[in-house]
A and B are shown apart, each in its own frame.
Chain A
Amino acid sequence: MVELSVLQQKFGTELTESSFRDNRRVDVPAAKLFDLLSSLKSDHGFDMLIDLTAVDYLEYEGATDRFGVLYMLLNVTSGERLIVRTAVNMPDPKLPTVYSLWRSCDWLEREVFDMFGIIFEGHPDFRRILMPEEFTSFPLRKDYPLKGRGERHNFPVITRAGS
């Protein structure tokens, strides 16, 4: 089991740990995210990225950051799980890609971009995955209504002058 103190020695005391039920989470500032993840992979054996997802905290009580991005890691040999959380904010939600560590992040990062508009820099094939290519909004953001905004808003209108 990876100790928090070992990680804190390397990445400073900004790292905090929390747990709920059997989930163990480590919060890290976005600037140190990639270094922490690559260290977790190479030094601590977290060789599988189970899931990568995001949460929009716009309407969440007491939240300070707009988006939380979560990396659910698994050590296949020992079965240990760890969730690494980081926060990104508007107007420029950006994170480095982890494609060089786990190739399974390929479609997951594209999905997070598609649904939340968080950009993963350095991804080799970065485009929308579920929504149409020309779609203009990010549907899982909390300011996007359940029923959608309709065709006119979601897709760019081709005017006579612009065509």
Chain B
Amino acid sequence: MPLRILVIETEGWHRTAQVEFPIVFVAWLLLMPLTPVDNLEAESAEREYVWTLNFGPQHPATHTTLRLVLTLDGERVLNAVPYIGYLHSGFEKLGEHLDFNQYVTIVDRMNYLSPLANEIAWHHAVEKLLNIELTPRCKYLRTILAELMRMHDHLLNLGTTALDLGGFTAFLYFFQQREHIYDIVEMASGQRFHTSYTRVGGVLFDVNMDWLNRVRKFIKEFPKVYDDVDRLLTKNRIFVDRTKGIGYLSPEDAINLGACGPVARASGIERDLRRDEPYLAYEDLDFDVVCSKGGDCYSRYLVRMRELLESLKIIEQAIENIPSGPVNIAVDSDMVLPAKPSVYRSIEGLIQHFEVIMPNKGYDVPREQVYAATESPNGELGFFIVGNAETRAYRARTRPPSLMHFSMFPHLIKNHQLSDVVAVLGSINIIAAELDR
């Protein structure tokens, strides 16, 4: 009897299959409404085929400590739930206890792929609160450093995205260039990684001609490597297949979900703080805002790739036009340290040095609050500072681009394959230290 066979084979019906009176059973089956059968089947299907996969917190492709709980139907991602906080170290609380110059060492550790970009953003906000106008040389110097950091960040992001998708060569080519940027930064600040180079009203040390020549050498040599990687990846069949059409973000969603930076620009939103709200020396420099209409991982790759060239263009102009003169604001503002010779050789210089350093002296800080943002490599990096007549912030809020980008991850990955998770994660460039702060 075909009915009986069906009953035996369907999971969840095994108990009724043991009924010894087929006639009674068939009668019961006919009387039974059909919907519960469907429900039962659906339920068993859910139990059977839907898998839960823990992706992270420690996984080579997450690069940092992220955790995703993926609900899978075969290899299709039905849902993804991100859990964050594994790297939460209370940076914002520390910002309330360290003064404006000390906190720069903490800010470094937020987006550690481009530490100087964070420092510039932090001191941009502090200087807005204190109403400091930087010297022209400092503006140009910080612009060069900010653009070097943008390249630094994009190089790592593009390199590791290629690595995750199987392209090892591009990764090595780009990491070699990152080493050159590390060398340049080390030459300016004495540190390769966590530079802590900017100060309120200026920078730690001025740079010399050797440094400028080194940057010139870098921008001369970089385009060759860029072309190599461009040839390796941009029309690579495997790379394009893995990224095109993956993780689509429409312009409306990008705005509603708070996307910024390269992610928003890859979705066709023409917004770049360097052009829209010019700070530092960007007003004097000529560059293009790179946009794409694709909205997928491939567009984000293209936007970042092209931004490397635009950064190169900015550095080229800035390095030729960098003004001479002092790099810090005037010493009589009582905000910057006096030059070392005057500290060591005169009592006035020594006293001034101490007055800037001592916590009970300092300078006037308005009881006000200010939000200031810069275009960091990842997007809008903003700092919201509440001043309370002290040289430290009453509240130091960071607006991290990674937080906004990771919160839209479930939206981006839905209904893609499991192997696309790394492609999407790479394309939105999540830095967990900045995400969790």
Interface positions of A (Cβ within 8 A of B): 20-23, 47-51, 53, 55-56, 59-62, 70, 72, 76, 79, 83, 102-104, 106-108, 111, 115, 128-132, 139-140, 144, 146
Contact = CB atoms under 8 A, between A and B. Distances in A.
A85 to B, nearest CB: 9
Contacts of A106: 407
Interface residues of B, number: 45
A130 B85 contact: yes
A146 B94 contact: yes
Question: Which of B85, B90, B258, B380 lies at the interface centre, i.e. has the most chain A CB atoms within 10 A of its CB?
Answer: B258
Nearest to A144: B93
A50 B94 contact: no
B395 interface: yes
B257 A103 contact: yes
B-side interface mostly: mixed
A32 B173 CA distance: 56
B72 to A, nearest CB: 20
Question: Which of A70, A104, A139, A146 lies at the interface centre, i.e. has the most chain B CB atoms within 10 A of its CB?
Answer: A104
18 contacts: A21-B131, A23-B371, A47-B256, A48-B256, A50-B260, A50-B382, A53-B384, A53-B397, A62-B367, A102-B256, A106-B407, A129-B84, A130-B84, A130-B436, A132-B85, A139-B90, A139-B93, A146-B93
Interface string B357-372: 0000000001111111
Q: Which 7 A-B pairs have the closest CB atoms?
A: A104-B258, A130-B85, A107-B407, A51-B399, A130-B88, A53-B397, A55-B395
Given A104-B407, A139-B90, A139-B93, A48 B258 contact: yes
Nearest to B129: A21
B384 A51 contact: yes
Interface of B: 84-85, 88, 90, 92-94, 96-97, 128-129, 131, 255-258, 260, 269, 271, 276-277, 366-373, 380, 382, 384, 386, 388-389, 394-395, 397, 399, 403-404, 406-407, 436-437
A140 B93 contact: yes
Given A107-B407, A108-B403, A130-B85, 6 more contacts: A22-B128, A62-B367, A72-B399, A79-B271, A115-B92, A139-B90
Contacts of A107: 403-404, 406-407
A56 B371 CA distance: 17
A115 B93 CA distance: 10
A76 B371 contact: no
Contacts of A115: 92
Contacts of B369: 20, 23, 55
